[in-house]
Amino acid sequence: MPAAPTKPSAAASDYGESALAQCVTQLVRRYLRDLDGNADGAELHTLVMHSAEAPLLREVMAWHGGNQSRAAATLGINRATLRKKLGQHRLE
């Protein structure tokens, strides 16, 4: 069974950010810093969404032992959408 969610740290709750949001913030800042001002045309939204979706799907599927119906419910999407996304990321 999954562990109960933990309360966000004081720093996270001070800014209204979850630990996940803080992680994304740090990674995006580092990525932009690494681009060193050359962010034009980087299509950052597409990059972040594509980069995050595959591991999200993989972990939720593993958590539910490959049960697509339960994984789709956890993700808040229908099973057909999950199957489509699994195919797009070659995670079938």
pLDDT score at 4: 47
Q: State the Cα–Cα distance between residues 12 and 92, nearest whole angstrom.
A: 35
The answer to whether residues 18 and 12 touch, using CB atoms and an 8 Å cutoff, is yes
3-state secondary structure of 4: coil
pTM score: 0.69
Q: State the Cα–Cα distance between residues 26 and 68, nearest whole angstrom.
A: 31
**What tens-digit pLDDT sequence spans the chain (92 residues)?**
445 444 444 444 455 679 989 998 999 899 888 888 787 766 888 888 888 999 999 999 999 999 999 999 999 999 999 999 999 999 98
48 contacts: CB under 8 Å, gap ≥ 6: 24, 28
pLDDT score at 16: 66
